[in-house]
Structure 1
């Protein structure tokens, strides 16, 4: 029976070094300049988080013989990860994007080299502080302009693109920080990947082109370890926000969701529409995360990403009955070629409130 065999490509400045650092994972790899290749890969891990703009890559290599060439900050890495062959796995490498080295660490003994990198799309002018204001526009137009300035393609979900922005300030903030703030305000995934500025609702059932995501089925049979948690947290059942009514010269309040314990948003808004937008986003946040679930896959799947909806089966009626969302996905390749995926899931709604 064909054994499961993981694989990867790791392209640094145009050269794939996967066979150089892990020749044992590719038995057909040819010697380099007639020299036997020494396995150096200790671990490779990629972490993707729902509300973190930058994906994080960490590679640890053995330098027991002192032969590793220095790695400089600022170099670019392209990663693809997956299965070369086997049973119960989908063969093929999945591109996980481009990264820029921002930290290099050496330690020992035994001597090791650790390379840490983050999404390369989130560097350069995207992190330059700016002062500007936006008036009488839409969220789609605003995000489109920021994407254009940074040489990106704007991919904005239609449910968000038409939202009205009466007035908003970008005061001494980078575009990266400003987009992150907008993600918080509108309860959206706000990130940059593969040259595109992506902005879509957390838990959306369709992508920015309107195509259905579907739900990812995960079973207990495909799980090596799990952890279910009902965290201690303050439970809000709605939200309220204030706005300045110029006609009446006073502040007014809008409330969304139930009103027995609403979350009070501290800032004031320029219009009722914007106050309602923010309150509705906070209400959606209040409905999530009442349950948490950690899931370690027996066989890794690097195609799983944050914001995917998940259905669980094989546990009990409580766990299986909850609608889940991927909050964090970590993919790890170890020295032996084992490929694992660990997921942090959060509930999409407050089931206890729905049942009451």
Structure 2
């Protein structure tokens, strides 16, 4: 049953959080309940479905996807009902730890298989990638499927999120090269903060692995795109099947460390374009200007403050 028109006047606040890196979305709705409806005949059941679209009248809305009620909280006086929800795709099956072996498959193929298992549509830059190494065998041991996929993604320079029935699975360089969806200027913000750090930023990586064919310890070096302020080298020892896997893992781990050289937190007027995985152009902060990839977006609608969006982002180009 669609009760949007019935509850719109009762809504005190809506908080929606969208994240990259395999994390699920979150939703909280705060409702005024002076009529005692939400603690009476309208009291929802845990597990009930909630769908959310947000935005401005007459403009395209942001489809936040489907959620299930996970927690209810009643405070007062005055009476306020808080409904906290988790993404609907996080089913009991998806929360179950599994053990499974994938043979002669690439990372994108594995992602496609996991997406299909839960009825999600895989969205990726392409079906084939130079970085999509093929594993003779990779084993998921007592892990939830998305935890396993997150580990593979981080080790091989991929990022993903699940939103509105889609598993969006991209190589980090592909995400970082997409044109900015919007420009944010200093004058169009409520508050901001930037961080530029040198600790754990590296000049390059040395990756050592045991070659199963030659029975030798092999070391490969990968340079960073830009020199580090410290001149440090990231040293890694891990298991690989071949040189290609070692190269991709070294590049991925080096990128994982160096990609947070400059990060930003920006809050401003509500903007439906600001979602995890989109790039934005920040302008008006001098040396800190550039293109930034949104890793977390928090959309907040409240009677007192209106619609605002806060993002956490990292710079991908100056």
Output the TM-score relative to the length of structure 1: 0.78
Query: Once the 2 structures are TM-superposed, how far is the Cα of residue 42 of structure 1 from its aligned partner?
Result: 1.6
Q: How does 1:72-87 map to 2 (within 5 A)?
A: 72-84=45-57
Residue 96 (1) aligns with residue 69 (2): no
Call closer, same or farther: CA 1:103–1:266 in 2, change over 3 Å: farther
Q: Name the Cα RMSD after superposition.
A: 2.5
State the distance in 2 between where 1:166 and 1:104 align.
47
Q: Measured at CA, do residues 213 and 273 of structure 1 come closer, stay the same or move farther in structure 2, by a change above 3 Å? A: same
Q: Does 1:328 align with 2:296?
A: yes
Structure 2 CA distance for partners of 1:59 and 1:266, relative to 1, 3 Å: farther
Give the alignment partner of residue 214 of structure 2, picking from 248, 269, 277. 248
Residue 74 of structure 1: CA displacement? 0.9
- Rg larger for: 1
SS in 2 for 1:121: coil
Q: Does the CA contact (< 8 Å) of 1:288 and 1:348 recur in 2?
A: yes
| Pair 1:237–1:16, CA change in 2 (3 A) | farther
1:1-356 matches, cutoff 5 A: 14-17=1-4, 19-23=5-9, 40-68=10-38, 69-84=42-57, 91-158=59-126, 159=129, 162-202=132-172, 204-205=174-175, 213-231=179-197, 233-258=199-224, 260-297=231-268, 299-316=269-286, 318-320=287-289, 322-336=290-304, 338-348=306-316
What is the CA distance between 1:160 and its match in structure 2? Answer: 6.4
> Residues 8-45 of structure 1: CA distance to partner in whole angstroms, max 9, x if unpaired?
xxxxxx4132x32233xxxxxxxxxxxxxxxx212101
The residue matched to 1:128 in structure 2 has which SS?
Answer: coil
Query: Mind listing any 5+ residue stretches in structure 1 that lack a counterpart?
Result: 1-13, 24-39, 86-90, 352-356
Distance 1:213 1:201 in 2: 15
Count of residue pairs the alignment pairs up = 308
Does the C-alpha gap of structure 1 residues 237 and 116 become closer, same or farther in structure 2, counting only changes over 3 Å? farther
Give TM-score scaled by structure 2 length.
0.87
Structure 2 gaps of 5+ residues are none
1:113-154 C-alpha deviation (Å, 9 max, x unpaired): 111112212324222221111222222322222222222322
Contact 1:287 1:348 in 2 (8 A): no
Shift of 1:80: 0.6
Identify which of structures 1 and 2 has the higher relative contact order when contacts are C-alpha pairs closer than 8 Å and 6+ apart: 2
